[in-house]
Amino acid sequence: MIVLSLGAGLIAVPASATDTSAVQPPPNERAQVLALWATGSDRTQLEAEQALTASDAEVHAFLTNRAPELVRVDDRFKALSLMNESGPAVSAELTSALDGTPEQLAAYLKSGWRGALVMDQRGSVLRAMADGGRQVQAAGTSALDKGTSEALMQFLTKELPLRTAQDERTEALMIEATAGPNLRQAAQEALDGTPADVHAFLEEGQYVARARDRETLTVSQLADLAAKAGATAKAETAAAQKTADQAEKAATAAKQAATVAKEEMAKTQGASLKASDLARDAGRAPHR
Q: Are residues 136 and 107 in the same domain?
A: no
Alpha helices by DSSP H, listed for 147-205, are 149-154, 160-177, 181-191, 195-200
Residue 113 has a pLDDT of 85
Query: By the 8 A CB rule, do 78 and 40 touch?
Result: no
Distance (Å, whole) CA 170 – CA 283: 121
d(CA 121, CA 132): 16
Domain boundary among 74, 89, 112: 112
**Is there a domain that residue 278 lies in?**
no
| 1 — pLDDT class (breaks 50, 70, 90) | very low
Is 217 part of a structural domain of the chain?
no
| Last residue in a domain, options 147, 178, 209 | 178
pLDDT in tens, 212-239: 988 887 766 656 656 665 666 676 566 6
* Tens of pLDDT, residues 8-67: 332 233 333 334 344 455 558 889 889 889 888 899 889 888 988 888 888 898 889 998
76 lies in some domain: yes
Domain count, the chain: 2
> pTM for this one?
0.56
Q: Tell me what pLDDT residue 35 has.
A: 87
Last residue of a domain, one of 158, 178, 198: 178
Residues 131 and 83 in one domain: no
Q: Indicate whether 89 and 124 sit together in one domain.
A: no
In 10 A of CB 105, how many CB atoms?
Answer: 22
Residues 53 and 135 in one domain: no
- Cβ atoms 15, 1 nearer than 8 A: yes
**Contact between 113 and 90 (Cβ < 8 Å):** yes
Examine the domain organization and report whether 107 and 137 are in the same domain: no
Range of the domain at 40: 1-16+27-112
